[in-house]
Amino acid sequence: RDVSLLLGIPGVTEVTTRVNGNGVVTYSDENRSLTVQGVRPASETKLAQGIDKGRFLTPSDTYSVVIGSKVANGTFTKIIRPGALLTITNPMDGKTHDFTVVGVLKESNGSIISGDPNTNIYMTMEGIKGVSSVDTYSMIYARAASPDLAQQTADNVKDSLNRLHRNEAFQVVTVKSFADVINSIFDYIKYILSGIAAISLVVGGIGILNVMMLTVKERTKEIGLMKAVGATTTDVRKVFLAESALLGLFSGVGGVVLAAAIAAAIGYYAKLSIPVSWQNIVIGILFGLAVTVVFGVYPANQAAKLDPIEALRTE
């Protein structure tokens, strides 16, 4: 009834049903816990196009299965080929049945909604009854005519289902809604990391302040000599601010190089692209420069205010 309703909604071009479950799969005396999905072969055009070996399911395949590429190669010690026999057991009620592998899927990318097809085992709705007592669909996938119409189509689906299921709970989600949730999570992570970075900058600035104050104390006689030969208060202040700026410049460049190296290492081992843009490089260096200059102002002023006579007396 729901499938018929969805097929009649404007903007819906394809409707696919799934029954999700977990099973203990036995092959060659080895047991693995894998995801099992019941499907209707007639509506699984995308899966059918991804067959690498053998064939896809037909409506009459009660106890036949199609397996993902990782299930066939890597999950068990031996490679599974079409014609192999798998024993699938429901860990909850102990229902078990033998299934014949009729096809192996090509390796493909999954989605946050449908999961990873490479690790799934697919069978017909009749077949999954042999290992599961579930008599309802776990999910119904509806494809919109275009990405631009996805949200509008989802709203139409929700309105139609609300009229049909007035007192029943259901949820309509889109890939974009999942992406929005993920983006919000990354935003929180970004804010947390920004807070940690801010604390690090303050701690680093205090460290620079202490170093510069120590420098002023160690160079008191030198400051007195500079003033004695004609250096003004402004000149002394500029000298110490310049030292702070140079310290910030070199530390900023060092920090950017270290960050780029860490990003490259993470990207290499995690197989992810983590680019370091010129904008981030400039921001990193400018932040280092700004922090050291700001925290170098007080030591520079202290140096500039020294009395030259008292400074020359210092040993």
* pLDDT computed for residue 112 by the predictor: 65
Highest average pLDDT, of 71-75, 90-94, 179-183, 223-227, comes from: 71-75
Mean pLDDT of the chain: 86
Amino acid at 60: S
* pLDDT computed for residue 123 by the predictor: 93
Is residue 117 scored above 60 in pLDDT?
Answer: yes
- Model confidence at 311, pLDDT cuts 50, 70, 90, reads low
Q: Which helix (H) or strand (E) holds 75?
A: none
Share of the chain above pLDDT 70, in %: 97
Q: C-alpha dihedral over 122, 124, 128, 130, to 10 degrees? A: -130
From 30-39, 174-183, 302-311, the region with the lowest mean pLDDT: 302-311
Going by their DSSP bridges, the two strands 120-124 and 30-39 should be labelled as parallel
What's the sign of the alpha-carbon dihedral 123, 125, 130, 136?
Answer: positive
Structure tokens at 73: 């190669």
User: Looking at residues 69-78, what average pLDDT do you find?
Assistant: 92
- Where b means 16+ CB within 10 Å and e means fewer, 179-212 reads eeeeeeeeeeeeeeeeeeeeeebeebbeebbebb
Supply the DSSP string of 226-279, one letter for each residue: HHHTT--HHHHHHHHHHHHHHHHHHHHHHHHHHHHHHHHHHHHHHT------HH
C-alpha closest to that of 36 among 112, 134, 111, 182: 134
From 150-154, 222-226, 297-301, 309-313, the region with the lowest mean pLDDT: 309-313
Q: What is the pLDDT of residues 162-218, one digit of tens each?
A: 888 888 888 888 887 777 888 889 899 989 988 998 888 788 888 888 887 887 777
From 19-23, 28-32, 64-68, the region with the lowest mean pLDDT: 19-23
User: Looking at residues 119-126, what average pLDDT do you find?
Assistant: 92
Is residue 28 scored above 60 in pLDDT?
Answer: yes
Across-strand partners of 86? 99
- Model confidence at 297, pLDDT cuts 50, 70, 90, reads confident
Q: Give the integer Cα–Cα distance in Å for 210 and 59.
A: 78
Q: Give the integer Cα–Cα distance in Å for 106 and 39.
A: 18
**Cα R_g (the chain), whole angstroms:** 34
- Model confidence at 56, pLDDT cuts 50, 70, 90, reads very high
User: Looking at residues 232-244, what average pLDDT do you find?
Assistant: 84
220: Cβ–Cβ under 8 A, 6 or more apart, which residues? 306, 311, 314
* pLDDT computed for residue 74 by the predictor: 87
User: Looking at residues 243-247, what average pLDDT do you find?
Assistant: 84
Is residue 238 scored above 60 in pLDDT?
Answer: yes
pTM surpassing 0.75? no
Q: What is the pLDDT of residues 203-229, one digit of tens each?
A: 888 888 888 788 777 777 878 888 788
Is residue 315 scored above 60 in pLDDT?
Answer: no
